[in-house]
Amino acid sequence: MAKSKSSDKKSKATKLDTKKADDIKEKSYITKQVDTSIAILDSPENDVVLESLLFLSKYADIQLNNLNYLQQHGMMVKLLNLFNRNICILRLSLRLLSSLVLLEDVLFELDQDVYNDKIIEIADIEASSVMQKSTLELLYVLLNAPAALSTLPDIQNFDVSIIMMHLDNPNGKVSRLAFEIIRKLTYYGLEVFQKMFKENKLVEKMFEVILNPEKIEFHQSALAIIKNCMNCVETESYFIESLVFLEFCQWVKTCDQDYLMPCIDIFEKLSKIPSIKQTLFDLSIEDSILYFLRSTDKKVLNKTCEAISNMSTHKYCCERLLNPTVLRELTQILYREDEEDPGNEVALKTIFDFSRRNVKTLDLLVFIEAQNILLEYFTNGTAVVSEESFLRVLEILYKWSIHPVHQIYIISENFFEELLKIFVSSSDKVSTVACEILTNFVHCKEFKQVFLSKNGPQIFVGALSTTHGPKKFKNMLLFILANLINTDIVMAFLKSNLVTTLKQLPQTTKYKVPLIDKILLLTYNLHLPLKFFETNRLDITDKLENKFYLINGPWRTYFPFLEILEAQKGVTEVESLRSGSTIRSSMRSLSMTSWESSESVNQSPFDINYGTLSSDPFLPKYIHHVNKFLKGDVTIADKIRIIGEYVDALLCGPKEEYTINQKIHAFKLHIESLKERLGVNMIPIGFLRIGFHCERALLFKAIADKCCVPVSLVKGEEQTLYVVDLMKHVGTLLEVGSKEANEYCNLSK
């Protein structure tokens, strides 16, 4: 018995063979032994420590609270101090530590500089390749600690090739850990590790994994690792000329739908690197990218569009990509209804980029009838897409608008109505482009109809005084300038107080934008009565046509346009002239003259339309009569004298012996009688039989213009070369600045 008991005790005391990894005998779990087991870890006896580690490992595996209890009693520090023991203790210590570092408090405590030497020890253990699963698990968890990441690059023996070696480990758990560790290391993208990965051809290895159907469980991890490597400068593109990458480019053309998103992500990242564009073109990478358009996933399609757009920055690649098939596929995306991306803005941008990079795009878009969907985008406006995307649509429409053939595909009254709405209600950027598009259609009949019916002139004139953006302001002026070819629109602008608005602009603005004065000058030349009213002169080149008129007496409001007055039937004190011009005469006040002359010399002088503007039957006869005296070899001076004497004979009254007041009174009576006779205040110049400086100068210019005698009409003291005396020494030329000229000019003051 005694011997038996002694023998049993000896059996229980049998030491474990620490040289054998599997010679670890488990002990039954006793909760009261936890504190004792923790304390025993400091023992120098390996067997005792090993048994305590077994016990504590089982205790830790039961529940999370047990791990917390171990941490609170200093378990981590004790485990870190066991790294110099035998392999069995080391293995159990690493296993227990890998469980313990799952706690945030443990990871935080470990993430202190005081434990850097221990982290290095763990890395050295991994580098020695003595340990496998337990070491890899601990290393994987430690990578969450910044201290570990900052320490690893300083370890001389740490080599990522050892981890890569485990990628092909037959033990699935080990290989999975290796993939996860590499994925995490590449995610952080430390330069020293990425250089190692490049040297060991990690990306190529990952492509091999993806192309191997037997390693399907690692495909997603491999794709993630490639993506991480492409986020680092060291490994972003070095692999593109490898054979395995070219095989991958062929593989994606037929790969399963599940692979499309991570794969197109790879191509999209490559397409953004300027330095490799030529190489990608040489390898026909754009051909592989186009195969992703087969996807029905909107995210994949958007990434594909981005990749296509990036590749199209290369001139020859753009030409290869740009064809009806590709554009039709991109256009079909625009028709998709997607809650996350209702405007399909990525595809829209790709089409826009093509239009900027190759002019052929505009022809192809028309060929596939893409104008319909783009006009739909235009109509919906920023309610569907962002302002940036809407501006892209407008730019494409603008390019069509300047193309003489493509214009017809977008012209419609609705199109112009929308442009006017956009001009009024949008931001300066948008309304500026809308204005540019409108400018290209000033010749179009539909545009003129819409512009006039929708009060376009009033809209633009009103915007001139409220617009502060210099680009929009200049484009509005260019639009107005372009419209000066349309008589109806010119009159509409004038009626909308264009001249007054331009004149009231700040002087600094006029100095910076000379276009303002150019528009004013052209406007005056298109409407000579307005020119004389605003500038007080008509030049030699200003040949007065029908309905030239001057205002009689002071006028304190805007210039009264005859068309408005006729429409309102509110004509006021007017002398009218259809084909008249006048020569310089010092005048203080003018008559508002509006005159419809008869084209026939033989028309009856009494053919009067009572109450409306009447034709002037007399002036054509005057011109016909004077021309008879100007035939032959007659000098300019003689012609001026003849015309002057003729005018003096026509407007000879009142009597010479009358005082100034009597003459004025007689003139007013004459005007009133004519108004009574005509039934309107618009008095044709040919009806006058009494006239002073103003009336004589006006009639002189009217006759002289038709008789090819160069004269100008100037009010006030504007400088000319000569003044024609039409009052005293009729027909005499007085040199400006001379005593006689000054005396004559003063007569009108």
How many separate domains does the chain show?
Answer: 2
Q: From CA 332, how far away is CA 328, in angstroms rounded?
A: 6
The model's confidence at residue 2, banded by pLDDT at 50, 70 and 90, is very low
- CA angle, 389 then 328 then 292, to 5°: 85
Structure tokens at 94: 């690493």
Query: Is the sign of the CA dihedral 514, 515, 518, 519 positive or negative?
Result: negative
Instruction: Mark which of 287, 321, 355 sits at the end of a domain.
Output: 321
DSSP 484: G
> 199, 162 in Cβ contact below 8 A?
no
CB atoms within 10 A of CB 356: 13
Mean pLDDT, range 453-466, rounded to an integer: 94
Query: What is the C-alpha radius of gyration for the chain, rounded to an integer number of angstroms?
Result: 48
| pLDDT confidence of residue 567 | 64
CB atoms within 10 A of CB 580: 35
Amino acid of residue 658: Y
Give residue for tokens 């010479």: 656
Q: From CA 373, how far away is CA 617, in angstroms rounded?
A: 60
| pLDDT confidence of residue 289 | 96
Look at residues 538, 502, 532 and name the one whose alpha carbon lies nearest to residue 520. 502
Q: Bridge partners of 652?
A: 690
Quick check: is 254 in a domain?
yes
Express each pLDDT in 282-325 by its tens digit: 999 999 999 999 999 999 999 999 999 999 999 999 999 999 99
What SS3 class is residue 213? helix
> 426, 434 in Cβ contact below 8 A?
yes
Q: From CA 305, how far away is CA 344, in angstroms rounded?
A: 10
The model's confidence at residue 18, banded by pLDDT at 50, 70 and 90, is very low
Express each pLDDT in 563-611 by its tens digit: 776 666 555 444 554 333 333 332 222 234 444 444 433 444 445 556 6
Length of the chain equals 749
The model's confidence at residue 83, banded by pLDDT at 50, 70 and 90, is low
Quick check: is 583 in a domain?
yes
Quick check: is 547 in a domain?
no
Express each pLDDT in 272-292 by its tens digit: 999 999 999 999 999 999 999
CB atoms within 10 A of CB 506: 8
Quick check: is 671 in a domain?
yes
Express each pLDDT in 396-420 by its tens digit: 999 999 998 999 999 999 999 999 9
Quick check: is 118 in a domain?
no
DSSP 613: P
Express each pLDDT in 703-748 by its tens digit: 998 888 899 888 876 667 788 888 888 888 888 878 888 887 765 4
Rank 113-117, 352-356, 522-526, 721-725 by mean pLDDT and report only the highest. 352-356
Q: Which domain holds residue 277?
A: 240-321
Instruction: Mark which of 321, 341, 362 sits at the end of a domain.
Output: 321
Strand ranges inside 189-303, DSSP E: none
Among 172-181, 231-240, 433-442, where is mean pLDDT lowest?
A: 172-181
Instruction: Mark which of 321, 351, 367 sits at the end of a domain.
Output: 321
Query: Is the sign of the CA dihedral 580, 581, 586, 587 positive or negative?
Result: positive
> pTM of this prediction?
0.73
Residue 537: in which H helix or E strand, if any? strand 537-538
Quick check: is 581 in a domain?
yes
CA dihedral 353, 355, 359, 363 (to 10 degrees): 140
Quick check: is 742 in a domain?
yes
> 188, 194 in Cβ contact below 8 A?
no
Q: How many CA atoms lie within 13 A of 110 on its CB side?
A: 33
What SS3 class is residue 661? helix
Give residue for tokens 């590449």: 186
Q: From CA 673, how far away is CA 691, in angstroms rounded?
A: 15
Alpha helices per DSSP H over 542-692 = 562-568, 619-629, 636-650, 660-678
CA distances to 314, 324, 379, 405, 413 from 399, rounded to whole Å, are: 22, 19, 17, 11, 19
Express each pLDDT in 40-78 by its tens digit: 776 677 676 777 777 777 776 655 566 667 766 667 767
Quick check: is 612 in a domain?
yes
Please say if the pLDDT value at position 188 is more than 60: yes
How remote is the C-alpha of 241 from its chain's centroid? 37
Q: Could you tell me which residues come within 8 angstroms of residue 363 by beta carbon, excluding any fewer than 6 positions away?
A: 406
